[in-house]
């Protein structure tokens, strides 16, 4: 079960990153070229948040119930904080991904709130790029290609 969930989590990472690249690109072009907000922009923002939510749910299941890494960290949390790998998975990864998820959801909500298209694109770009940077910094790249 652990291996299957880990591989699913790994695959969904790529869906999230691809969706982020698209929405950031659309938002950047829309903002600076003052393009109108289209159904495509809304659909890609929705896909991004759906992919992020699914990815986060899979990660939570791994984190709380299945992962031997987090189980080891929770057995002796003090020792885990002294071990960079255990600390990364027990605290840093989950915290940064939760913040990225919140920021991306805020970006989606803000982009729906404004009436001017350029403001929608600007909000989407700013929040999605912040989420993208957080996600890139919290991905365990040594395990990215398992």
pLDDT digits (tens, 9 = 90+) for 1-51: 999 999 999 999 999 999 999 999 999 999 999 999 999 999 999 999 999
Q: Which residues lie below 8 Å from residue 66, measured CB to CB, with a gap of 6+?
A: 1, 2, 5
Q: Per-residue pLDDT for 96 more than 70?
A: yes
146 pLDDT higher than 70: no
The overall average pLDDT reported for the chain is 95
- Please report the pLDDT score of residue 84 as a whole number: 92
With vertex at residue 27, the alpha carbon angle to CA 21 and CA 29, rounded to the nearest 5 degrees, is 100
By percentage, how much of the chain surpasses pLDDT 70?
A: 98
Region for 34 from its dihedrals, namely left if φ exceeds 0, alpha if ψ lies in -120 to 50, beta otherwise: left
Structural domain of residue 91, as residue ranges? 2-143
pLDDT, residue 144, reads 67
pTM of the model: 0.93
Q: How far apart are alpha carbons 103 and 145 in whole angstroms? A: 26
> Mean per-residue pLDDT for 73-102?
95
Question: How many domains does the chain fold into?
Answer: 1
Q: Measured between alpha carbons, how far is 121 from 114 in angstroms, rounded to an integer?
A: 9
Q: pLDDT tens across 56-74, in order?
A: 999 999 999 999 999 999 9
Mean pLDDT value of segment 111-123: 96
**pLDDT value for 142:** 82
């Amino acid at each position: 079960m652990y291996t299957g969930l880990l591989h699913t989590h790994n695959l969904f990472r790529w869906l999230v990153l691809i969706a982020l690249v698209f929405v950031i690109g659309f938002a950047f072009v829309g903002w600076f070229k003052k393009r109108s907000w289209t159904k495509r922009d809304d659909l890609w923002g929705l896909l991004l948040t759906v992919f992020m939510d699914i990815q986060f749910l899979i990660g939570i299941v791994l984190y709380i119930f299945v992962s031997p890494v987090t189980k080891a960290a929770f057995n002796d949390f003090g020792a885990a904080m002294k071990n960079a790998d255990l600390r990364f998975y027990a605290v840093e990864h989950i915290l940064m991904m939760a913040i990225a998820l919140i920021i991306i959801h805020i970006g989606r909500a803000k982009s729906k709130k404004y009436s001017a298209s350029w403001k929608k694109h600007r909000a989407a770009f700013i929040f999605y790029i912040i989420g993208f940077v957080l996600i890139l910094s919290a991905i365990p790249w040594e395990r990215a290609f398992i």
